[in-house]
Amino acid sequence: ARTITEAARRAKVQTQMGNQGHSSESIRLLKEWLAAGVIGAVREVHAWTDRPVGGDPWSNFAVQAQSKDTPPVPATLDWDLWLGPVAHRPFHPDYHPLKWRAWLDFGTGPLGDMGCHIIDPAFWALDLGAPTTVEATTTHWEQDVSSQTFPRATIVRYKFPARGARPPVALTWYDGRLQPPVPVDLEPGRKLPGSGALIIGDKGTLLHGSHGAGGLRLLPETRMKEFVRPEKTLPRVVGSHEADWLRACKAGPGAPPPCSPFEYGGALTETVLLGVLAMRLPNQRLTWDSANLQFANNPAADALLHTPYRDGWSL
């Protein structure tokens, strides 16, 4: 993420991350409400997804792909090109399509899949920046295939420092159908969405779903119904996320960037990937030195920051 961000900066090109929810109305409402102090100072965020898709234990894919069957490569697929920088291995449909997300060599698990959508609203609205520590706890990690696939479920805990007058923030991520404790101000009988986030302040709680804070609500519902919304202060995106990028491209270097350029999206991605890396070293608190792009306390974690590429694919 850092390398791509720096390359885009040097090339002076307009970029747009594919977190399409960042173009939404709801993410701007969230930022405006927090800036207006609707829920007070925020010290705690919980974000989650119900992925893996359908709850299928991804580790099963590794077991199947290690079987002795040798399915033919589809005529429409250049398998060597698809592998990219990864060492060659035989084709198997438990790599592609879709299931590549489960594999350490190809994907980034549920956090990498959905984190840039679900964490995005709080990351942007609270100006979180780089975390100082990250720690993961994993469940149902099957050791015989753990070097190949992501665990069935994880909890990742990030700590972000104070930003000016804003207090430090603890952000906790859950996947594999794990969820945070039900907040006390959620009405009886109402459930948390399959994917979403809770932003907890001194004076209240906000709940939203996936992709750009969709379904943004102030808890409890009685307070939402009485809520006098603050003035809208942020510019809105006209058209689609893709159209926003095309507008910036046509305007050229120096023109206003689209809403989620790599300068922002790269930092968000970096934060998400730190959590993905922490899953490889569960139950260890990793201290992150963002300025120097290294961990201050764990050489094993540093070694995971860079993966050897096969010839022809180096950056």
SS3 269: helix
Between helix 262-279 and helix 2-11 the angle, nearest 10°, is 160
Say whether pLDDT at 231 is over 50: yes
Lowest mean pLDDT among 55-69, 77-91, 153-167, 299-313: 55-69
User: Tell me: the pLDDT tens digits for 88-123?
Assistant: 989 988 888 888 888 888 999 999 999 999 999 999
Q: Alpha carbon of 44 to those of 49, 126, 257, 277: distances in Å?
A: 17, 11, 30, 22
What is residue 208's predicted lDDT score, i.e. its pLDDT?
Answer: 98
Strand order in the sheet with 133-139: 217-219, 204-208, 196-201, 42-48, 169-174, 153-160, 133-139, 286-289, 294-295
Checking if the pLDDT of 307 tops 60, the result is yes
Please state, in angstroms and rounded to a whole number, the distance separating the CA atoms of residues 315 and 309: 9
| pLDDT at residue 55 tops 50 | no
In percent, the amount of the chain with pLDDT more than 90 equals 80
Can you list the domains of the chain with their CATH numbers? 25-241+267-285 (3.30.360)
Give the mean pLDDT of 239-243: 97
